[in-house]
Chains A and B, each alone.
Chain A
Amino acid sequence: MARIGVFICHCGENIGRTVDCAAVSAAAAKMPGVVVGVDYKYMCSDPGQQMIRKAIIEQKLTGVVVGACSPRMHERTFRAAAAEAGLNPYLLEMANLREHCSWVHSNQAEATQKAIDLVRVMVAKVRRDRALRPIRVPVEPTALVVGGGIAGIQAALDIAAGGKKVVLVESGPSIGGHMARLSETFPTLDCSQCILTPRMVEAASHPNITLMTYSEVASVEGFVGNFTVTIRRKARYVDPAKCTGCGDCFNKCPIKKIPNKFDAGLGQRRAIYVPFPQAVPNKPVIDAAHCTMLQKGKCGLCAKVCPRGAIDYQDQDRLEKVKVGAVVLATGFQLWDHAAYGEYGGGRLRDVIDGFAFERLASASGPTGGLIKRPSDGKEPQTVVFLQCCGSRDDKVGKKYCSKICCMYTAKHAMLYRHKVHEGRAVVFYMDVRAAGKGYEEFVRRAIEADGAEYVRGRVSRITRRRDGKLVVRGADTLAGRPVTIEADLVVLADAVVPRPGSEKLAQLFGVGYDQDGFYSEAHPKLRPVETAAAGVFLAGACQAPKDIPETVSQASAAAAKVLGLFAKPELEREPVIARVNRTTCAHCRACISACPYGAAKDFDIVDRAGKILRAVADVNEGLCQGCGTCASVCRSHSVDLDGFTDEQIHAELNAL
């Protein structure tokens, strides 16, 4: 005999404001099989959970329905509470009265009616729930970190320091990411290279870290604890085992004028190259698209000069499989292309550059050796205009969101420029200065007060190039309430931070959600900010949202802690939502076997005691089954069913509607 308890949560006012919770619990109390129907302000709080535990024990409940928020939010919380009171946790179901009802409807009568319906559906379901036991699966204690920027490096180092193995995959020829391109970092003006490069070396030489540069994730199979990830090792055409990094090859390469992306196109590199001198590993790759040997079969100079015979023009992409238990995605960001702004030259004005280009100009290891020279004629600019929110906070042409880091790096740029060009004018156009962070506001004040950056509140409407090379910047000073025109030599646009191209495809491989801008979605914006909806896949850095270096490093360490926590136990428990075959009725038509995406459904021979095969049927491997239920719906004789979502349960839910 079913004894169901229904617990309706007000969620403060979140549900209670729109749904008449007392009416819902009263209606629930009258539903068949229900012996308890109550409502409470905060069901997830300790007194709320205590209420459920007490009812389970005192009323000898055989099932519980909690009408509250989305099960994605608190199903785990309530199931744990039920388990504490001795009820099998899979005998508790949630009706989603908040996300699917009170938050999306405003009419109280309609919302209350819907809430009652949703509760009735779950009561019908929970009456047919079976006690289930979680499935235990072994964990492969190796982590995969995708992205070799500061986020990936930090996560890899922390996991490695915890004594676990890490595979660090980077798509470029060197690790280091964007941070390696920066000149100095705010708010301390530490030299970026000086703080980053030792960590790059440490990551490359750590015995627990396997570095795979010039590599990409090709495919992913498996699930938390047991992923099999195929990595595409792109052809380098240089055998890293033989190469000593002497540099003879790239000093001799005749193809010289390829814009170097690392230098934001301001510097040039050869067809065989290392992106920057401090690269890790410091071993070149050949850019096949520009190499005449690979394109036309002519040249071969690098192979001739290489003293170790490391050049291999026959090299090809290789696929390598790694088995890992957890994944950290740290794919980072790039800057939005300001070519979309026709009024700022549409990307055609050479002296209108982005923030990275300015970083490279200011960097001691940059193409100008740290001298500020403008790209068009190499002259030192006497007036530089910095323009914040270029593409950020503009949902017409650019992005709706604030890119968060630009206020700070623009202040830094203005400061660096004034340190290098003492007589120069640095003018910053801003919408608001958002300098929340330790020492950040002080840093911006310093740029204005000590270093004399001129801050103008307003937008720039147009940038045009005059015949003498001057850039005429027309804008508005909204504080003074008048138009401003500035004749500048160089304009630096603080372009919006956007996810890396291909990040959506990567998210799909791992089953990770992403938002409309392509940033990866965390499992919960406040309480689970480094986890994703895909179990065992964690996030670090700007792939999740625009972030500065301290925040990125914090999140990377947090992701590493999550990975180490996962690896702390040799086995982990998995939801027991798996398919079962009724061997008595199975006719062995093999429809389920061909439909199963995991190869979990397979042939099984029923044998007698002598080992003679009596009959062949289908069977499901518990370890491999992920519980999609496709087998159950293709079964012609309804011999396959899915625990937690049985035919009987779904029909009962429909009958309750």
Chain B
Amino acid sequence: MMKTETSTAPAPAAFEPRITAFVCNWCTYAGADLAGTSRLQYASNMRIIKLPCTGRIDPLFVLKAFENGADAVLVSGCHPGDCHYTSGNYHARRRWTLFRKLLALTGIGDDRLFFSWVSAAEGQKFADLVNDVTAKVRKAGPFRAAHPGRRAL
């Protein structure tokens, strides 16, 4: 697969975190849309990958995000009980719980992995979440500095 040019060129002085978010189409994506229609301002560090459901998230996607230079990963979908597909978010939750234990073992901890339920009605929550995650990752510093020599995991 051809690698395209690096996106956000990191300025040497200030560290701007790169955060990859995996969100579901029905709740969090719509919640982010609501944040937009409500003109809520938030940090511009997050890039959203839209999936139909959090149940679609393969753990490999998360690894791939880190491999491609993400400093943190956010997973967000419908609240328990609200899944458009009845139970996809429960599968996601189970898988995520195990997977983050595995990642913790490799030294990737809570300062780089985030999870939150955001419904289509929670535009404010989405904006707050992005700001909160960005602030935490800013504090945690660049992924590569924390994991030197770890090109891939």
Chain A interface residues (CB < 8 Å from chain B):
31-32, 70, 72, 96, 98-101, 103-107, 110-111, 113-114, 116-118, 120-121, 124, 508, 511, 513-516, 521, 533-534, 577, 595, 597-598, 626-630, 632-634, 642, 644-645, 647, 650-657
Contacts and interface: CB of A to CB of B under 8 A. Distances in A.
B91 A31 contact: no
A72 B85 contact: no
Interface string B71-105: 00000000001101111100100010000000000
A103 B36 contact: yes
12 contacts: A99-B36, A104-B40, A104-B44, A110-B44, A114-B44, A114-B47, A511-B84, A513-B30, A533-B120, A629-B51, A642-B56, A651-B60
A595 B91 contact: yes
Nearest to B40: A104
A104 B35 CA distance: 7
Contacts of A653: 49
Contacts of B143: none
Nearest to B57: A633
A654 B61 contact: yes
B104 to A, nearest CB: 21
B37 interface: yes
Nearest to B65: A654
A531 B70 CA distance: 38
B53 A630 contact: yes
A630 B64 contact: no
B106 interface: no
B39 interface: yes
B121 interface: yes
B124 to A, nearest CB: 8
Interface residues on B, range: 35 or more
Contacts of B41: 104-106
Contact of B55 (A124, A514, A628, A650): A628
Given A121-B47, A645-B56, A655 B1 contact: yes
B61 A31 contact: no
Given A72-B33, A104-B40, A657 B20 contact: yes
A628 B58 contact: no
A634 B91 contact: yes
B128 to A, nearest CB: 12
B85 A111 contact: no
Interface string B1-38: 11110011000000000101000001001101101110
A633 B51 CA distance: 12
A154 B136 CA distance: 53
A634 B59 CA distance: 10
B17 to A, nearest CB: 13
Q: List the 7 shortest-distance A-B pairs measured between CB atoms, nearest first.
A: A99-B36, A629-B56, A630-B55, A628-B85, A628-B53, A513-B120, A103-B36
A513 B91 CA distance: 22
A167 B26 CA distance: 28
Contact of B64 (A96, A533, A577, A654): A654
Given A111-B44, A114-B44, A513-B120, A98 B52 contact: no
A597 B85 CA distance: 7
Nearest to A99: B36
